[in-house]
Structure 1
C-alpha cells in the first residue's frame, strides 16, 4: 500500500515563524494512500511528537473535511487524500523540534515517519522580539571569542532593518588567520566555498560551523530567528580574505600578495531575512571598494545598476543576451571547423530553430602541439580565415545577430607559444604556476596592446562578442608578486578593450577568483556582462545534473549582486531524463539560455517552452526581471528536501515564479506555502498555475496559510506562476468575476512576455489591453469562464479580429482561455513594421 504523509511546517528542515507568544502554531498534514487499501478514513490516526528541549509530548491531529487550504495540481484518481489540522500553543521561547507518527487503525502499531521515509525531525524557531529590535543588537551578541586584535566598526546600512559591522585587522605578507569567533545561537548555516581555483559551490550544516574549503561568504540563521552574513573583502590592499572554520569558530583567512603589512577587511551583516541581510553586506562591500578608489569610475557607479541603457519607446529593449543562443562545445565537440559550424546551423534552421546568437567555443584558434596560442587568425579547419566563416554565417542565416568566439584570459590554456606570432610581436615572459610549472605569457607592459590588437582583429573578422575563459588562471601563479602584477594588467585590459570593441558583450568564464568577483564584477559602473555561475554542464555524467542546478541556485546568493547576469551554462535539449530539469532551471535563472545540441538531436517542444518568436521573427528567451534566488538557502543537496527557486517579472505586483526541483535520489513531497513566492503583494489576489499540468489553484492572498501540494520523483521538476488577478464588476451590478493575464503560456516563464497591460471600463463591457514582446499562446484567467459562450468574446490583434479557430477553453482548466496569437498573426498576414511588440485587445462583458 502506498502511504505518503506531508506536513507543514515541513519535516527535515528549520522553519522561522513570527508567531507571537500565545498565538497557536498551525500544523497541517496531508495523508495520501492508494485507493485499493482495506482501511477506512475514520481509522487513521496522526500524532505530532514535539519538544522544546524538555520531555517529548504528543498531540493528535483532527481530521478536516476542508481541503481548500491545500491545492494540488496532480488530481490522480489513484490516490485517496485526507487533510488534518493541529494547533499547538507553545509558550517557550526555545525552538520546537517535532516529528510525526501515524497508524491506519486503532490496534495497528505506530509508523514513525522517520523510519518510513527517512525524513529527519523538523524544527520551528520563533523570531524573538529582541531579535527584531536592532537597537538591542551589538557585535558581541553575535560571536564569542573574537580576536582582540580585530577592529570592529559599526557602519550605516542601506537596507532597512539590518545592522552592519566592518571588521579589519593587520595582514602580514603571505597567509594569516584570525578568529572572528564562534557564532552564538547558530541553528543552520550555508557557505559558498572555493571548489577549485575557478569555481565556487555551496555547503550547508547545522549547530556547529564547519567548512571543508575556503569560503567567499557564509550566512547562518540563529535560534532567535535572526540572520547573519559574513563576507570577506578581496581586491583591496593586495588582500584576499576568505571565511574558514576551526573548532566551531569562524576564521578570517587572508592572503596578502604585497611585500609589506596590509589591512584585511570583512563585512558582518545581520537582519531578519537572509536576502536583505546579504544585500546589506554587498552594498557595503561595493562602497568600500569605491571609497578606496580601487575602481576608477568614469561615471556615477549607480548609473548602470539594473539598467542596460536607455530603452527606446514604446518597444521593449532587446539586448544581445535576450536571444536564444547556440554554443558549439558539447554539440560539435573539440574538432571544430567552419564546415561543422555551418552544417549545425543549417540543421537548426531546417528544424525551425532560429537562434539569435552563435558562440564559437574552444578549438578555433591556431595552437602548437602543447596547447599554446600561436597567432590571431583561426586554425587550418577554417581554411579561408575567421572572417570568411562569419561572413558565410551571416549571409546564410539572417537570424544570427551576434557571433561570439572563445578565448582564454592568457590566450589559451597553456599560454603563448614561444616563437609564434604573438610571442614575436609582444613582450612575453615565462613565469611559474601550478607548483613550479613554466607558462609563457604576454608580460604586463604589452597586455593592453595585445588585447586591443586582438579585439580589433576579431571585430574586423565579423565577431561582436567574446567568451573569455580560464580567468582564475591569474590566481594560479606561484609567486605573489607575479600575481599582483599580472592580475590587474589582464583584468584591466580585458575590461577596457571589451568595452571599447564589444560594448562589454562578453561572457566571463572560470572567473570565481575573489579578485575578479570584487574588482571586475561587483562595481556597477558599466554595461551588464554575462558570467558563468558554476562549473560546466557535463552531459555524460548523470550524477552531475541535479548538483549543477543546485550549485547554480545557491551561487546566485553571491552573484546576484554583481554587475551582470549569471550564466547557468549551455545544455542539450535531448539530454536523457534531465533535459526538462535543465530547461526549467535556465528559465527561472534570469540569465541567458544556450543550447548545445548535436545535429539532428533536438527536442523542439522543449525549446519552444524556453523561447518564443517576436513579431519581427527573432527567437528570444523570456527572462524574468531579476536574478533567481533559492527560497531557503539552508536546504542541503540530497537531503530529501525539494529545492525551490524563486523569481519574478514586471514591476512591483507583477507575476511571481517558482521552479521546484527534486535534488535527491528518492521521491519527495512538500506543502509549499503561498507566502514563499517572491515579490507578491499582501493586498493583491493571485492564482497559481502549474506549467507541467496546466492546472490552476484557487484565488489566494499572502498570509492566509494556503499551501500547494507538490510531489516529485527523482529528476523531476515543476514550474509555477503566481499571476495577479483583479475583480471586475459593472457599477451597480450584483455579479462580478476575476480576471488575470498569464502571458504566453506555451513558455515556462511566459508572464515575462507581457510588456504592459491595462483595463478600461466601458458602458457594458471591459476592455483589456495587453502588449506582448512575442507571439505564442496567450492565456487569460476568467473565473466564470465555464459558464461563458466564447463565441460572444471579441479579441483583436493589431486592430484586426482574431480568427475564432484560434480561441479555445483550456483542456486542463475551466478557468483558462487560450488564444493562439502566433497562428492568428500568420493567418491574418500581419507584419510588425517598426515595432517589435504586438497588442491584443480583449472585450468582455
Structure 2
C-alpha cells in the first residue's frame, strides 16, 4: 500500500539546503498524500539523518519522528479535483550549536525520509520506492559573518595570493597571480598554457559556467570531486561549513584569454593564452562569503574596476568622445536612458534625447523560426498580416538572417562559404530595396515602432565576398580561422584600419532606410581567428567600431548575439559607459527538439548569475506562442528581465498566451511587463540531472515596497510535488534568528490562489512554506506582495491591503510604477464630493504603465460585508463607471477578497487621454 504514497518535503531531498547560522530549532515538514481508493491509515513519517555529522561525533544515523499537525503549507496549485488524503507531518531539530561560549565549525548533514502506513508495518524508504536521493543540510556556524577564515583556495607552487579591498560588504576578495609570466613562443602564434592553481577544500557542491563552444556558455555542476570537460569562466564552490568560494577568470584587459580547467585529481587549473606579445601573468580573482551572491558580486565588481583601468577601455573612451554628448549616457537602472536621433537623409543626423524604454519593453516578432532562411519581403508582410489579423500588435520587427546581398545560392551553398556583397538588400527577395520594404511595413502596420535587421559582425557567416561592392570600397584582409571549427579556412574580412569607416557607412545606410536597430550575430568569429596578430588587431577594434556605429546611428538599439566570448563580455559589457544593449544569453530556441526546452530555460537562468553584472539586458531568445512548451517559455521570458520575441509561423498563434505576457499602454502600444532586476536561478547548486523544480527569481520596485517574483518550472519527466519557503523569493527576507514584522501574501498566476499573510522567519517555520504540484512541462509564476496595515478612521476597523498589479498577466505586479497610501489628507475645497475627502477614508493611489484589470487584495471584503457601492474609484481624477468595479472572493483566504478595477474598459468608455504621459493613475477610496 505504501506505493500509493506521494511525498513533498522541506528541506528537499536530492538537493543541498544551506541553513543560516542559528542556535534555535529548525524545522522539517513532510506532506504525504494517499489515494482515497484505499482506507485511511494512521501513517507515520520520520526523518532519518546522520546524527554523527550533525553532532560532530562518530554516532550512527538516527530518526527524528515527525508529528501529524493541523497547520499545513499553503497550497498554490489547483487541487479542487484532488482525490487524495492529505497529511502534514512536522518536527523540529535542535541546533547543534548550543553553547554561546563555544566556537563551532559548519556541518554537512545528509538525511532521507522513511514512512509506513501504521505502527505495525515495515518502514518504506523514499529512495527504494521513488529513487529520490538523500538531501543534504549545510549548517552554517553562528559566528561573526566577517570571519571568513584563511585563504579560500589552497594554492600550489608558482602562485602569489593577496587580499584586495572588496566593494561588497561581508565578502573577502583576493587577487591570485602567477609568480612567473605565461610562457610565450619565440616565434609563431601564441598557444594556450596551463598552470595548476590548487583546490578548494571541504567541497560539498560546485557550480561552473563553461564555454560549451565558442559563442555560448552553459552551467555545469558536481559534488565533492571537481571535474570539467569544457573551459570555465566562473566557478563557485559550496563548502561543507557553508562558505561559498567564487573564482573568476580575468579577461578583457591585456590581450590575455583566461579560463579554468581541472586536473585528473580534482585540482583547479588556470589556462591562459597571451596574445599581447609582452610578459603577462596568469591572473584570477577569488572571493569568499557566507552567501553566494556576495562572493559573486565581489569578483565581478573587481573585474569591472580592472577593465576600467585597462588601456583597451581608455582607447574605447577616446573613440566614444567623438559621439555627441547626449549619446554618451551612463546606463541607469531605470532603463530610461536617453538617446535617439531624428531620422534624416543628411550625412549628419541630429541627435535628440528620447527614451530607450520603448525598445526594451516592446513585444518583438522575429522572422527566423517563423519564416525560415529563404526570406523575402512578401513573406515578412504575410507574417505581419497574420499577427494583425489575430489582433497581435507587435512593436518591434526583427528581420533575421538572409535579407542581405550575398554570394552563393540559398539552400545550395554552405552558409559559412557565403560572403556579404553589398549594403543593399538581396535584389531577389527585396526587389525594391530595403528602404521600400521597410516603408511598406511601417505603412501597413503603423504600430511597429522599431525595425531591426540581422547581420554578422564580419558581414556574414562567411565574412565578405571578394566580388561585391563592399570588397571594392573598403580595405580588406585575408585571415585564417581555426581548423576544426565551422569557419575553418581562409576568408576575406574588412581590414581593422577601415572597420570604423565601414560600420559608420553601413549603419548610416540602415538609418536612411528606416531601420532603427540591429541584431549583430556571429561575434564569436573574433575568437576563431587562428593568428595572434589578427586577434590582437581585430578583437577590440571591431567591437569598438560596432559600438560607436550603433550608438551614433541607431541610438544603442542593438542585440549582441553569439558573443559569450570572454574578450567581448569583459571589454564591451562590464563597463557602464554606454546605454544597456540586449545580449543573447544562451544558445538558440530549437522548436523541434523536445529535450531542448527545459534545458534552454535552465541554462538561461544559470547564465544570468554572470550576466546580471554586465551592462546588458539578457535576451533569452525568441520562442513560438503555439507550441507544447510555449507557456513554459513564456513564463520564463517574462521573468528574465529582458526582451520578449515571438517567432510564430503565420496562422499559428496563442493569442491568450500573448495577452498574459503583454498589455496596452495608454497610447495603445503593446508593452511587456519586465521586472526591474534580472531573473536568475535561486538554486545555484541544483543540478539539471536531479530533475527537480527550477526556481527563477526576480524583483520589481524599490526595497520593502516592491514585489518578489518566483517562477517554478518542472524539469522532470513526471509530475512533481514540492515545498518551498517564502524566503526563496528575492527581496523577502527574515531577520537573523527571528521573525519579520513585514507580512507578505503570495499569489499564483496559474491557479489565482492567494495565501494568508505570512511573516518570514529564520529558521523557516511551517506557516512560511508553500506547496505546489506541477504536471509534466508544468510551470507557474508566484508573486510575493508586501501587506500594508491600516486602521480606518471612520470605523476604527483594521484592514490589510496588498497591490496585486494587473491580473491575468505573468508579471502583472511589474505594471505598477509607484503607489501610495493616505489616511490623513483632507480636501481643501468643501465643494469637493464627499467621496474624495480622504480624511474619513483610506486613499490608495496606484500609477500604472499599462491598462488592464487592476487587482487590490483587501483582508476584510467578506468579514465586513464590503460592497462595491461603498468604494470610490477614480482614473485621472474622474469617477469610473460602476460596472467596471467588482469584488471577487474566489481563491482567497477567508474573510478577504480582491477588488478588481477594469482600468482598460473604463479608460476606453470614458474616452480618456494620457496627454504627454504614458501612464495612468488610479485612486481608490475605502471607508
TM-score, structure 2 as length reference: 0.87
Q: Structure 1 CA distance, aligned partners of 2:759 and 2:197?
A: 43
> Which residue does the alignment assign to 2:846?
770
Q: Deviations over 1:203-252 (max 9, x none)?
A: 01111111111001111111111111100011222111111111111111
Paired residues of 2:329 and 2:579 also in contact (CA < 8 A): no
Q: Structure 1 CA distance, aligned partners of 2:448 and 2:518?
A: 15
Task: Determine whether 1:560 maps to 2:587.
Answer: no
2:18 to 9, 16, 31: 16
Q: Give the deviation of 1:359 after TM superposition.
A: 0.4
CA shift in 2, pair 1:623/1:210, >3 Å: same
Q: Give the deviation of 1:81 after TM superposition.
A: 1.3
Paired residues of 2:246 and 2:286 also in contact (CA < 8 A): yes
Task: Determine whether 1:150 maps to 2:149.
Answer: no
The within-5 A match list for 1:349-368 is 349-368=388-407
> Which residue does the alignment assign to 2:775?
713
Paired residues of 1:26 and 1:85 also in contact (CA < 8 A): yes
Could you say what secondary structure the match of 2:594 adopts? coil
2:797 to 695, 713, 735: 735
- List, as ranges, runs of 4+ consecutive aligned residues in structure 1 with deviation greater than 4 Å: 298-302, 309-312, 731-734
Q: Structure 1 CA distance, aligned partners of 2:853 and 2:400?
A: 34
Q: Give the deviation of 1:135 after TM superposition.
A: 4.4
Could you say what secondary structure the match of 2:128 adopts? helix
The within-5 A match list for 1:105-254 is 105-129=118-142, 132-135=144-147, 137-139=149-151, 142-144=152-154, 146-169=155-178, 170-173=181-184, 174-246=191-263, 247-254=265-272
Alignment root-mean-square deviation, CA: 2.0
CA shift in 2, pair 1:341/1:317, >3 Å: closer
> Which residue does the alignment assign to 1:434?
482
Q: Structure 2 CA distance, aligned partners of 1:615 and 1:319?
A: 13
Paired residues of 2:853 and 2:901 also in contact (CA < 8 A): yes
Task: Determine whether 1:62 maps to 2:78.
Answer: no
Q: Structure 2 CA distance, aligned partners of 1:736 and 1:593?
A: 41
In structure 2, runs of 5+ residues without a counterpart are 98-105, 185-190, 340-353, 409-416, 734-739, 824-837
> Which residue does the alignment assign to 1:82?
87
Q: Deviations over 1:594-618 (max 9, x none)?
A: 1111111111110011010001000
2:279 to 252, 261, 266: 261
Q: Deviations over 1:67-124 (max 9, x none)?
A: 2x54443333422211111122353753211000101123333211112222110111
Q: Deviations over 1:636-683 (max 9, x none)?
A: 113132110110111112111000111121222221100111113544
Paired residues of 2:331 and 2:337 also in contact (CA < 8 A): no
Q: Structure 2 CA distance, aligned partners of 1:664 and 1:729?
A: 47
Paired residues of 1:637 and 1:664 also in contact (CA < 8 A): no
Q: Structure 1 CA distance, aligned partners of 2:47 and 2:305?
A: 49
Q: Deviations over 1:145-169 (max 9, x none)?
A: x133222121111110000001122
> Which residue does the alignment assign to 1:700?
758
Q: Deviations over 1:568-612 (max 9, x none)?
A: 000000012x10000000000000001111111111110011010
Point out the more displaced range, 732-741 or 769-778. Answer: 732-741
Q: Structure 1 CA distance, aligned partners of 2:206 and 2:756?
A: 35
The within-5 A match list for 1:626-665 is 626-653=677-704, 654-665=706-717
Q: Structure 1 CA distance, aligned partners of 2:215 and 2:883?
A: 54
Q: Structure 2 CA distance, aligned partners of 1:732 and 1:128?
A: 51
CA shift in 2, pair 1:481/1:316, >3 Å: closer
CA shift in 2, pair 1:6/1:546, >3 Å: same
Could you say what secondary structure the match of 1:362 adopts? coil
Q: Structure 1 CA distance, aligned partners of 2:691 and 2:509?
A: 52
> Which residue does the alignment assign to 2:583?
531
Could you say what secondary structure the match of 2:572 adopts? helix
Number of residue-to-residue matches in the alignment: 834
Paired residues of 2:337 and 2:579 also in contact (CA < 8 A): no
> Which residue does the alignment assign to 1:838?
920
Q: Give the deviation of 1:277 after TM superposition.
A: 1.2
Q: Structure 2 CA distance, aligned partners of 1:757 and 1:309?
A: 19
In structure 1, runs of 5+ residues without a counterpart are none
Could you say what secondary structure the match of 1:795 adopts? strand
Q: Give the deviation of 1:305 after TM superposition.
A: 4.3
Q: Structure 2 CA distance, aligned partners of 1:463 and 1:498?
A: 11
Paired residues of 2:329 and 2:338 also in contact (CA < 8 A): no
CA shift in 2, pair 1:726/1:134, >3 Å: closer
Q: Structure 2 CA distance, aligned partners of 1:725 and 1:316?
A: 33
> Which residue does the alignment assign to 1:609?
660
Q: Deviations over 1:774-828 (max 9, x none)?
A: 0011111011112322232221222232222222233443522222111121222
1:376 to 423, 426, 431: 423
2:110 to 97, 104, 114: 97
Q: Give the deviation of 1:444 after TM superposition.
A: 1.5
Q: Give the deviation of 1:316 after TM superposition.
A: 9.3
> Which residue does the alignment assign to 1:46?
45
Task: Determine whether 1:443 maps to 2:495.
Answer: yes
Q: Deviations over 1:499-539 (max 9, x none)?
A: 11112210000001100001111111111100100000000
Could you say what secondary structure the match of 2:607 adopts? helix
Task: Determine whether 1:474 maps to 2:526.
Answer: yes
Q: Give the deviation of 1:330 after TM superposition.
A: 0.7
Point out the more displaced range, 163-172 or 788-797. Answer: 788-797
The within-5 A match list for 1:421-820 is 421-435=469-483, 437-576=489-628, 578-653=629-704, 654-680=706-732, 682-703=740-761, 705=765, 706-731=768-793, 734-761=796-823, 762-786=838-862, 787-810=865-888, 811-813=890-892, 815-820=897-902
Q: Structure 2 CA distance, aligned partners of 1:72 and 1:79?
A: 16
Q: Give the deviation of 1:136 after TM superposition.
A: 5.4
Could you say what secondary structure the match of 1:699 adopts? coil
Q: Structure 2 CA distance, aligned partners of 1:340 and 1:133?
A: 60
Paired residues of 1:337 and 1:382 also in contact (CA < 8 A): yes
Q: Deviations over 1:465-489 (max 9, x none)?
A: 1000000111111112211222122
Paired residues of 2:781 and 2:810 also in contact (CA < 8 A): yes
Could you say what secondary structure the match of 1:304 adopts? coil
Could you say what secondary structure the match of 2:313 adopts? coil
1:278 to 296, 301, 311: 296
Q: Structure 2 CA distance, aligned partners of 1:664 and 1:782?
A: 37
Could you say what secondary structure the match of 2:547 adopts? helix
> Which residue does the alignment assign to 2:827?
none
Q: Structure 2 CA distance, aligned partners of 1:585 and 1:192?
A: 20
Q: Structure 2 CA distance, aligned partners of 1:316 and 1:508?
A: 20
CA shift in 2, pair 1:214/1:678, >3 Å: same
Q: Structure 1 CA distance, aligned partners of 2:397 and 2:359?
A: 11
Task: Determine whether 1:385 maps to 2:433.
Answer: yes
Q: Structure 2 CA distance, aligned partners of 1:732 and 1:178?
A: 75
1:406 to 444, 454, 458: 454
Paired residues of 1:431 and 1:439 also in contact (CA < 8 A): yes
